[in-house]
């Protein structure tokens, strides 16, 4: 019996987010509101990866991400790869980098923080980012640290 393999179609224009932890695929889809998009969206979880054992992948047609959105993905999945496609060709491929600071993407964990009580945009310094899975966000207003496990995206 010949073994057949089904693959997700290539996209003509758009973005591929590769090497996501499988548990992060649906989080990324919700966080970026991709589930509300009218454009084709392909996703896979628990796919074989030589680099990580298993991985998740998201392909979004006709969508390129803004730096603020890329920062969100980097905080959630710091080992992910972003691939931009135009006319079926890879025009840019990059590993995500965790930024030194983030603003307007995450809610402060402190309910008394000014950002939770007035219209002040959040701003955090990223600490322990070399430990990717243990990173924390340090609020520049109230000085509380938010561990990665408690990050709530805006």
Number of domains present in the structure of the chain:
2
- Tell me: do 66 and 118 sit in the same domain: no
Identify whether residues 42 and 76 lie together within a single domain: yes
- Do residue 110 and residue 86 come from a single domain? no
SS3 134: helix
Check: CB of residue 101 under 8 Å from CB of residue 79: no
Mean pLDDT over all residues of the chain? Answer: 91
- pTM for the model stands at 0.84
Q: Which of 95, 122, 137 is the last residue of a domain?
A: 95
* Same domain membership, residue 139 and residue 119: yes
- Co-location of 71 and 108 in the same domain: no
List, for residues 51-104, the tens digit of each pLDDT value: 778 999 999 999 999 998 999 999 989 889 999 999 999 999 999 999 999 999
- What are the pLDDT digits (tens) for 10-49? 899 999 999 999 999 999 999 999 999 999 999 999 988 8
Bridge-based pairing of strands 101-103 and 81-86 is unpaired
Please check whether residue 1 lies inside any domain of the structure: no
Residue 96 near residue 126, CB atoms below 8 Å:
no
Same domain, 88 and 25: yes
What gap in Å lies between CA 46 and CA 18, rounded to an integer?
12
Strands (E), the chain: 14-20, 41-49, 53-61, 81-86, 89-95, 101-103, 106-107, 123-127, 136-139, 145-147, 152-153
The residue range of the domain holding 112 is 101-153
């Amino acid at each position: 019996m010949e073994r057949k393999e089904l693959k997700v179609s290539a996209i003509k224009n758009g973005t591929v987010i590769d090497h996501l932890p499988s548990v992060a695929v649906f989080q990324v889809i919700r966080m970026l509101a991709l589930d509300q998009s009218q454009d084709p969206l392909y996703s896979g979880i628990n796919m074989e990866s030589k680099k990580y054992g298993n991985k998740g992948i998201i392909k979004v047609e006709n969508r390129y991400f803004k730096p603020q959105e890329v920062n969100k993905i980097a905080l959630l999945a710091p080992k992910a790869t972003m691939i931009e496609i135009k006319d079926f060709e890879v025009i840019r491929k990059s590993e995500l980098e965790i930024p030194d600071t983030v603003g307007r993407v995450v809610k402060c964990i402190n309910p008394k923080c000014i950002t939770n009580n007035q219209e002040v945009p959040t701003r955090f310094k990223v600490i322990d980012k070399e430990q990717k899975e243990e990173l924390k966000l340090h609020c520049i207003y109230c000085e509380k640290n938010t561990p990665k496990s408690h990050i709530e995206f805006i």
